[in-house]
Amino acid sequence: MTRIMLVWVALLACSASAESSVQKARKGFKTKLVTRLVDSEPLPPLPPKLFEIVQYQGPLGPLQAMVSKAPGPGKHPAILWLSGGFPPGGMNEAAWEPQPRGNDQSGAQFRTAGLVVMYPTLRGSFGNAGQAEAFLGEVDDVLAALTWLRASPDVDSTRIYLGGHSTGATLALLVAASTDVRGVLALGPIDDVCAYGQQSLPFDVRNKRECAVRSPLQFLDAVRAPTLVIEGQLGNSEALHAMERATKNPKLSFLVLEGFTHFSAIAPVNEFFAPRLARATVDAPLFDVAALREAVLRPRVVTHPDGWALSVPPGFEEKLDAEDAKMPFTFVRYPSTLDLQVIGVQRLGGTIGRECASAKGLEKMNAKPLSTKWGTFELCGFRQEKQKGEATLVVLSFEVPTAKSAIIVHVTGFLENEVNLLALAQQTVASVKGQSSWK
């Protein structure tokens, strides 16, 4: 009898827990949409060796999803990845085409690590039935996609993960409060969806109930799976801190990456976790925050075919749109919302002598002399100021006598931060590895 009573009490506790979830908060609630948001653009043609389009049954009818091909026979771990933007979900050619590392929202790292990746499309998007409800009915759509994924013969149903970026991460947190998965990786979500603004949302943001039933902040205590919420310091970090303050749920961990933006944090985080999730066993700890910090905040080494390499501090995003062979590398970082740092490496195409530019030459360039050390060598440099609108930029440049072709390291930023820029320039020059043309 005692055992029966204990089981009954446990069932009541589970029922109470379930009733505190997203579904209970939305019970009897009917949204009033003031804007009809529908997107009829179809999914792109897919490379058949990598992806297929499947249909899964949503509450309003069939919905489409892109699913990557299993990497081999047997059952594999999988991740349902929710891309950001409005509407969230779906994916385009970014799933298989190279993306800039400073803004890689594709989730492709999970596919290359050996997970099956599902990109579900949701109501009102990609020609699907219904209209966008912004984090309301879309939760049910994602739950339906997870049901399909669990039943897939290629997927190990005990090792299904949920991930997303930006609005996709916001949606992922709401789904995580509604069902069980193996783990959740949420990059750059927001605590209160009404902060996205009326221009992006189909309901009246002045209606507090409309906001509350859609906002992760209200449901964090109902999250059941190990969940890591991450944001770059220069992204929605205040939203992350608000969520961290609002919950004591031990399933949730929060991390702000210093020096990173809302977009530059994605690639290094996914690169770190994808192989670990691919090989994680059912009971293994998932999210080693300390190891992630150490890996992501470590300087990045870039190499050039001429035989030299240099280290780039964490938080810099590489600009891949530069086609000038004489400027093979350009990296940008925003240490704060009011700061800018650019590291550029210019290839001179030949060797240089030890003599520095003459005073006359510097005057012609409207520059002042600088010097720094590279190993045992004293290097020449110069300082210039440039006007950009109302801001004054300073450019600090040092010539490095690398063997096959000398290079110039340029560091650019706002004049008022020149002390930090000089330290960055000297640090970057000191990190250059390679043979010198000087004896």
Give the domain extent around 410. 300-431
Last residue of a domain, one of 296, 324, 359: 296
* Residues 6+ positions from 64 with CB-CB distance below 8 Å: 43, 53, 54, 55, 120, 121, 126, 127, 128
What's the whole-number average pLDDT of the chain? Answer: 91
| Residue-level pLDDT at 320 | 63
Residue 158 in any domain: the answer is yes
Same domain? 277 vs 336: no
Give the per-residue pLDDT at 321: 55
Exposure string over 153-176, b if 16+ CB within 10 A, otherwise e: ebbbeebbbbbbbbbbbbbbbbbb
For every residue of 366-392, DSSP letters joined together read: TEEEEEEEETTEEEEEEEEEEEETTEE
Q: Find the length of the chain.
A: 439
Residue at 104 is within a domain = yes
Whether 164 has a pLDDT exceeding 70, the answer reads yes
Query: What pLDDT digit, counting tens, does each position of 126-153 carry?
Result: 999 999 999 999 999 999 999 999 999 9
- Contact predicate 149/155, CB 8 Å: yes
Q: Residue 391 sits in a domain of what CATH number? A: 2.60.120.1690
Question: Same domain for 114 and 237?
Answer: yes
> HSE of 372 in the Cβ direction (CA atoms, 13 Å)?
24
Task: Please compute the mean of the pLDDT values over residues 17-43 and round it to a whole number.
Answer: 85
pLDDT of 323 above 70: no
Residues 286 and 425 in one domain: no
For residue 11, being part of any structural domain is answered with no
Is pLDDT larger for residue 382 or for residue 100?
382
Classify residue 9: in a domain, yes or no.
no
Q: Are residues 267 and 312 in the same domain?
A: no
Q: Based on the structure, what is the number of domains in the chain? A: 2
> Based on the domain organization, do 258 and 356 belong to the same domain?
no
Which of 115, 60, 63 is closest to 89 using CA atoms? 63
Answer whether residue 92 is part of any domain. yes
Residue 7 binned pLDDT confidence (cut-offs 50, 70, 90):
very low
Average pLDDT over residues 405-414: 96
Q: Clarify whether residues 309 and 233 are in a common domain.
A: no
* Contacts of range 435-439, beta carbons closer than 8 Å, 24 or more positions apart: 435/307, 435/308, 435/402, 435/403, 436/374, 436/375, 436/377, 436/401, 436/402, 436/403, 437/351, 437/352, 437/401, 437/402, 437/403, 437/406, 438/354, 438/377, 438/401
Is 348 found in the same domain as 230?
no
| 319 shares a domain with 195 | no
pLDDT given for residue 416 in this prediction: 93
62/154 same-domain check: yes
Give mean pLDDT, residues 6-18. Answer: 34
State the pLDDT confidence band at 326, using cuts at 50, 70 and 90.
confident
> Same domain, yes or no, for 258 and 358?
no
Where does the pLDDT of residue 284 fall: very low under 50, low under 70, confident under 90, or very high at 90 and above? confident
Task: Report whether pLDDT(3) > 60.
Answer: no
| In-domain check, residue 41 | yes
| Stronger pLDDT, 245 or 320, i.e. the higher one | 245
Helix (H) or strand (E) holding 71: none
Question: Is residue 15 in some structural domain?
Answer: no
CATH of residue 240's domain is: 3.40.50.1820
What percentage of the chain exceeds 70 in pLDDT? 93
Determine the pLDDT at residue 374: 96
What are the phi and psi torsion angles at 169 (to 5°)? Answer: -70, -35
Last residue of a domain, one of 296, 313, 344: 296
260 and 155 assigned to the same domain: yes
Residue 101 forms part of a structural domain: yes
Confidence band, pLDDT 50/70/90 cuts, at residue 316 = confident
On whether both 231 and 372 belong to a single domain, the answer is: no
Domain termination site, one of 296, 327, 346:
296
